[in-house]
Amino acid sequence: MKAAIIGGGAVGVTSAYDLARQGAEVVLYEKDEIAGGSTGRAAGVLYDAFAAPEDARVGERAIGRFREFSGEGDFEFHETPYVWFAREGDEKRVEAIREQVPRMQESGRDVSFADADELRERFPAVNWRDVAVAAVAENAGHTDPASYADLLAEKAREEGAEIRTDTEARIDADALAVEETDGESESFDAILVAAGAHTKRLLAIAGIPVPLKPYRVQALTAGFGGTTRSEDRADLPMGYDATGGYYFRPHSEGLLAGDGTEEVESDPDDWAREADREFREITRDRLGHRLGEFGATREAWAGLCVATPDRDPLLGELRDGLYVAGGWQGHGFMRAPALGEASADAMLGENPLPEFDPTRFDGDEEFAIVEGMTVE
Ligand SMILES: Cc1cc2nc3c(=O)[nH]c(=O)nc-3n(C[C@H](O)[C@H](O)[C@H](O)COP(=O)(O)OP(=O)(O)OC[C@H]3O[C@@H](n4cnc5c(N)ncnc54)[C@H](O)[C@@H]3O)c2cc1C
């Protein structure tokens, strides 16, 4: 089979590798460099704490593959528990977490409730005083997202895939052809559009509407404060404050923290790449409260995630030979090893994730953007 992939993010390069190792002739088109889109801006928080059986399956497979690849090239999966919690007084989210955790356990996830005393004992660097309910996911970790994409692109090349960076592509859905912007056109047996925030636009140009909305999120890195004890730093978990709507994780510079979601649709070619001052300030306040003194902000940036009407991805065949993989609601990187693999399987004639069938929508649905990590 001759397959084209549009997009050299974490999902596209995984599909390229999985297709090539199964004998397909693969060409991957990336308009920038590998990980030049959202993947290179992601926080690299990885966990499998999902309740729905199909999400749990995807999460488990993804974390398993991250572990398998760890140590190859520059890619490292750093095992680190993930704690998510709601604060006292936030009844809605307290209830939501109480209800979620047993469902995750039923789906086979290694997650459990923890009270403030247990958290204090296990993760002393964090202030847990205001926590009403918390859960810990053990099958979790963090990484540098670009190192994963670079590794999988290299593995795809080794399996014979051709990776064309700096090559913007358009698709002709009727002819199943990919056209480079300099005019070169090539036809394929199957085309996968895994173009992140550009997926909707690329398909719209080809006359195919899909209900995807890019939205902007932000993150920053900061050093540790002088008073944080080194043994406490070593025990820092990844965390998500569902009441405050922000997350943090250990980082080689100290900490990485993020959120600042804008629940409005962004133009994928025209959006503010720098983090807002307000986001930097509010994040410093939040981290100060949660983690005590910490050092200067090192880097702060924005990037795009992509929402769908039901918050489930669009993955699979859209039309004869034309496949789509997108709409990850901020959880695309942590699931990429499984989603990319499933996209490759779909192109090879299997249908591993029928729940995410992209033809479940007409494409012109109206919907509000709800950030993916939101607990409600
Ligand atoms: C600040 C931030 C923090 C995040 N944190 C996390 C996290 O901790 N965990 C998590 O799971 N997810 C996180 N995400 C979401 C994550 O980044 C995405 O879900 C994931 O990277 C999507 O991967 P992808 O391969 O689908 O898309 P992308 O990485 O966006 O790749 C698509 C690629 O397609 C290319 N492209 C577009 N149009 C064309 C064209 N016409 N021709 C050729 N190439 C084209 C783009 O240049 C891009 O490289 C975060 C996102 C941001 C912005």
Give the separation between CA 59 and CA 331, rounded to whole angstroms. 10
Atom number of ligand 1 nearest to Cα 218: 1
Determine the Cα–Cα distance for residues 225 and 221; give it in Å rounded to an integer: 13
Smallest Cα–Cα separation from 281: which of 233, 237, 222?
A: 222
Pocket probe for ligand 1: among 28, 38, 217, the residue whose CB has the most ligand atoms within 8 Å is 38
Ligand 1 mean position, distance from CA 44 (Å)? 12
Average pLDDT over residues 256-262: 84
Query: Given pLDDT bands bounded at 50, 70 and 90, which one contains residue 363?
Result: very high
What are the residues facing 191 on neighbouring strands? 4, 322
Structure tokens at 360: 């479940």
**pLDDT tens by residue, 290-323:** 988 777 889 999 999 999 999 999 999 999 999 9
Ligand 1, atom 49, lies closest to the CA of 37
Look at residues 52, 32, 258 and name the one whose alpha carbon lies nearest to residue 142.
258
Residues 375, 86: contact at Cβ < 8 Å? yes
Q: Is the pLDDT of residue 230 over 90?
A: no
- Tell me the C-alpha distance between 313 and 342, whole Å: 12
Question: How is the beta sheet containing 45-47 ordered, strand by strand?
Answer: 45-47, 140-142, 78-79
* Any ligand 1 atom below 6 A from CB of 141: no
Cα of 332 to ligand 1 centre, how many Å?
7
283 CA from centroid of ligand 1 (Å): 23
- pLDDT tens by residue, 151-191: 999 999 999 999 999 999 999 999 999 999 878 899 999 99
Q: Does residue 297 line the site of ligand 1, with CB under 6 A?
A: no
Can you give the pLDDT at residue 228?
58
Task: Name the pairing type of β-strands 140-142 and 322-326.
Answer: unpaired
Interatomic CA distance for residues 11 and 198, integer angstroms? 14
CA distances from residue 59 to 36, 62, 110, 289, 337 in whole angstroms, order as listed: 24, 5, 12, 31, 9
Distance (Å, rounded) from C-alpha 115 to C-alpha 103?
19
Ligand 1 atom nearest 35 alpha carbon = 49
Stretch among 144-148, 253-257, 320-324 having the lowest mean pLDDT: 253-257
Q: Is the CB of 29 under 6 A from ligand 1?
A: yes
Those residues whose C-beta lies under 8 Å from the C-beta of residue 105, and which sit 6 or more positions away, are: 111, 112
Q: Do you know the residue count of the chain?
A: 376
Closest C-alpha to ligand 1, atom 22: 332
Q: What is the pLDDT of residue 232?
A: 62
**Per-residue pLDDT at 286 exceeds 60:** yes
Testing ligand 1's pocket by substitution, the residue of 144, 305, 356 carrying the most ligand atoms inside 8 A of its CB is 305
**Å from CA of 17 to ligand 1 middle:** 17
CA distances in angstroms from 157 to 21, 150, 166, 292, listed in the order given: 10, 11, 16, 46
Mutate which of 333, 339, 356, 371 for ligand 1 pocket (most atoms within 8 A of beta carbon): 333
Round to whole Å and give the CA distance between 248 and 81: 12
Highest mean pLDDT among 226-240, 276-290, 325-339: 325-339
Residue-wise pLDDT tens digits, 90-102:
999 999 999 999 9
Instruction: Establish how many alpha carbons lie within 13 A of residue 69's alpha carbon, considering only the half-sphere containing its beta carbon.
Output: 27
- At position 80, the amino acid (one-letter code) is T
Ligand 1 centroid from CA 367, angstroms: 21
Q: What's the gap in Å between 40 CA and the centre of ligand 1? A: 7
Q: Tens digit of pLDDT for each residue in 42-89?
A: 999 999 999 999 999 999 999 999 999 999 999 999 999 999 999 999
Structural domains in the chain, CATH included, are: 2-47+145-211+309-360 (3.50.50.60)
* Average pLDDT of the chain to the nearest whole number: 94
Average pLDDT over residues 201-214: 97
* Bridge partners, residue 134, by sequence: 85, 114
Strands (E), 150-265: 162-164, 169-172, 177-180, 185-187, 190-193, 213-224, 238-241, 246-251, 254-259
d(CA 47, CA 340): 17
